[in-house]
Amino acid sequence: MLRALARRLTLSRALMEHQLWEAVRLLDEAGRLATDLRHEPGFRQAMEARRFGAAVAMLADSCGLAASIEEQPGGIPPDRPSGKGEDAHRDPQAAALLRLLRAACRPGNALKQDVKEAHDGPSQ
């Protein structure tokens, strides 16, 4: 399902709100989110304000994959395509979500909570 969303995202002109909500739902169902962002006030405020870049960053942080959405130092101007290869997209927020979805599909990408528990032991 994450791959299907990534394919649909590559066909859209820009990241749309429903695509981001779908990513949250799918990542949560896949057990990839350390916290359910649907109920996080900061995430909801970012979505309501249409600050999709901030919302994608919060989503990536909750997955423990924040590094996967980062661009090269200095970033890419908003009027130029963002990303490389299959992650390229004219919309920088869509490109960031594409990178996150592809990283989440890669085997071996542990959740931040899994890493914390491996270090500190299970939370009570």
Q: Residue 71: its pLDDT value, please?
A: 53
| Boundaries of domain holding 43 | 2-120
Taking 90 as the threshold, does the pLDDT of residue 123 lie above it? no
Identify the band that residue 36 occupies on the pLDDT scale cut at 50, 70 and 90: confident
Burial of 13 (0-12, 13-18, 19+ CB in 10 A): exposed
Backbone angles phi, psi at 82, to 5 degrees: -110, 145
Percentage of residues in the chain having pLDDT higher than 70: 69
Check residue 75 and report its DSSP letter.
Answer: -
CB contact at 8 A, 89 and 81:
yes
Q: Which pLDDT value is given to residue 88? A: 64
Q: How confident is the model at residue 70 (pLDDT cuts 50, 70, 90)?
A: low
**What pLDDT, on a 0 to 100 scale, did the predictor assign at position 52?**
93
- Of residues 105 and 83, which shows the higher confidence score? 105
How many separate domains does the chain show? 1
- By the 8 A CB rule, do 110 and 31 touch? no
- 11: which 2 tokens? 């066909």
Residue 108's pLDDT band (cuts 50, 70, 90): low
User: Is 60 exceeded by the pLDDT of residue 19?
Assistant: yes
Whole-prediction pTM: 0.71
Distance (Å, whole) CA 28 – CA 38: 9
Cα-only R_g, the chain: 14
Question: Tokens in use for 63?
Answer: 């997955």
Measuring CA to CA, which residue among 79, 106, 101 is closest to residue 10? 101
How do residues 21-31 score in pLDDT, each as one tens digit? 999 999 998 88
